[in-house]
Chain A
Amino acid sequence: MAILQAIGLVKRFDDHVVLNGVDLTIETGGTLVIMGPSGCGKTTLIRCLNLLERPDQGQILFHGESVLSKEIDIRLYRRKIGFVFQHFALYSHLSALDNITLALRKLQGYGREQANELARRELAYFDLSAHEHKFPAQLSGGQKQRVALARALVMQPEIVILDEPTSALDPLMSQEVSLLIKKLEARNITTVCVTHDIAFADQISQNVVFMFQGKIIAQGSVADLAKASAIPEMNWFFGKKRYE
């Protein structure tokens, strides 16, 4: 059964149609990759999925129920979706540990001790134990990313959405990020990952969707997409030769 489904999503900014009827089904478990040229609407799509942007038309169903209906508590829904921003967006006045515990304490009602214990478990899981007292400005890009991931996971989300997790890191780090994403799979968390990086996409999933001008126009493995030639831009994007 699909955990999250977008049906006919339309999003405009003024007169600019950014999402032009997106249909997307995210199955429970596993990793879905969203690819596409710059400006095609990938970030807008995932922002709509957790309602950071409100779509102008269409439906978003979580376990088959509309999250756009008035009865649903948006904030409760958002807690079930971990969101990792492209530039990590850590709270700069809080240590790594407090970044992870803030929502536990203020939203879930955990006491400090209990929250710290849960957070330390995540920190250990991501090899960050030595850095718990550091502030974001004292962490490397890769460490920040893992703190951001730990901050999302400590809330026990059903889905984790990552926007371009490799773009703010050096190319060698993308190998490590793909291992992190494998770790999410091992924890049975459904993962949605936006990326530009074809090799990276190929490493993390066989389930890739290709977006173009506000629509999803193809779905399959990287090899499938590279073979398919729905439009010239897609051939160009996948650099056809490499995957033949």
Chain B
Amino acid sequence: MNEGMPAFYGDLFEQSSLIYLGLWATIKLTVVISITGFLLGIVIFFLGLNANATVRRLVEGYKSFFIGTPLVCIIYILYYGLPALGLRLSPFEVLVLGFTLNVGAYNAGYLLTAYNGLDKSQLEAAVAQGFKSLQVYAYIILPQLLKSSTPALTNQVIYNLKDSSIAFLVQYPEFFARMQELAAGNFDFFRAYLFAAIVYLILTTVIFLFAQYIERRNHWPGRR
């Protein structure tokens, strides 16, 4: 090994396949929870519009609970608590469940904000034309909400990526866990975490550019 070169680079090269797997695990987790969180958000939001006041109150309670509690806490509850109830899930399953419940609550909130800004007379116009409420939701409400909340929803994907770095706490071998191992091996914490930060930055930039592309494609004049 070259005398002048820090051990960090040699270790990085040596462990590159593990780090690569870690990166892949991070991306996999981010993609899965972004999709499941997105779908759950739509369902929660929809239930929040229910005519039944009890349903609406339950939805409010759900959102307050998951927005008001730290994600780590929820994941620990699932990771350590569920086995006690006889339900043993893999770290990946625990993470998907915990993240989905949390991200779904946030996404439902973004959709509700967009819904509040919607011109409601359109919904009545659709009802007057003979659409069922589910059709009004599918053809009028949802397309407009998805377009106007694209920035918030894609921001959430960036949060998902960054928050996935807590997955090491439940022994999920993702990118950040690999970088910690690397740093622990040669004590070059500065380089290891700077490297990790740069990799996260590159990934969030990709997400950001993708979001901009979607937003441009979805633009329509006079959008609210």
Residues of chain A at the chain B interface (Cβ within 8 Å)? 50, 52, 75-76, 78-79, 81, 83, 85, 87, 89-93, 102-103, 106-107, 134-138, 148, 151, 155
Contacts and interface: CB of A to CB of B under 8 A. Distances in A.
Interface string B191-224: 0000000000000000000000000000011111
A138 B222 contact: yes
Q: How large is the interface on B (under 10, 10 to 19, 20 to 34, 35 or more residues)?
A: 20 to 34
Interface stretch (B2-10, B25-33, B82-90, B123-131): B123-131
Contacts of B144: 92-93
Contacts of A91: 122, 125-126, 140
B127 A92 contact: no
B147 interface: yes
B139 interface: yes
Contact of A137 (B125, B126, B130, B221): B221
A89 B121 CA distance: 5
15 contacts: A52-B124, A52-B127, A75-B132, A78-B127, A79-B130, A83-B125, A89-B119, A89-B125, A91-B125, A92-B223, A93-B220, A103-B129, A106-B131, A107-B129, A151-B129
B130 A78 contact: yes
B61 interface: no
Most buried by A among B122, B131, B139, B143: B122
A52 B128 contact: yes
A81 B221 CA distance: 30
B135 interface: yes
Determine the main DSSP class of B at the interface with A.
helix
Given A93-B143, A148-B125, 17 more contacts: A50-B128, A52-B124, A75-B130, A75-B132, A78-B128, A78-B130, A83-B129, A92-B119, A93-B144, A93-B147, A103-B129, A106-B131, A107-B131, A134-B221, A137-B223, A138-B222, A151-B129
Contacts of A102: 129, 139
Given A85-B124, A137-B222, A75 B131 contact: yes
Given A75-B130, A93-B147, A93-B220, A106 B139 contact: yes
A79 B130 CA distance: 5
B221 A135 contact: yes
Nearest to A148: B125
A151 B132 CA distance: 17
Contacts of B125: 83, 85, 89-91, 148
B124 A79 contact: no
A203 B115 CA distance: 41
B221 A138 contact: yes
Given A52-B127, A103-B129, A135 B220 contact: yes
A155 B131 CA distance: 13
Contacts of A103: 129-131
A243 to B, nearest CB: 34
A7 to B, nearest CB: 22
A20 B211 CA distance: 55
Interface in B130-160: 130-132, 135, 139-140, 143-144, 147
Contact of A135 (B128, B130, B222): B222
A92 B139 contact: no
B122 A89 contact: yes
Contact of B129 (A78, A135, A136, A137): A78
A151 B131 CA distance: 14
A81 B126 CA distance: 12
Contact of B222 (A79, A83, A92): A92
**4 closest Cβ contacts across the A-B interface?**
A137-B222, A89-B125, A89-B121, A83-B128
Contacts of A87: 121
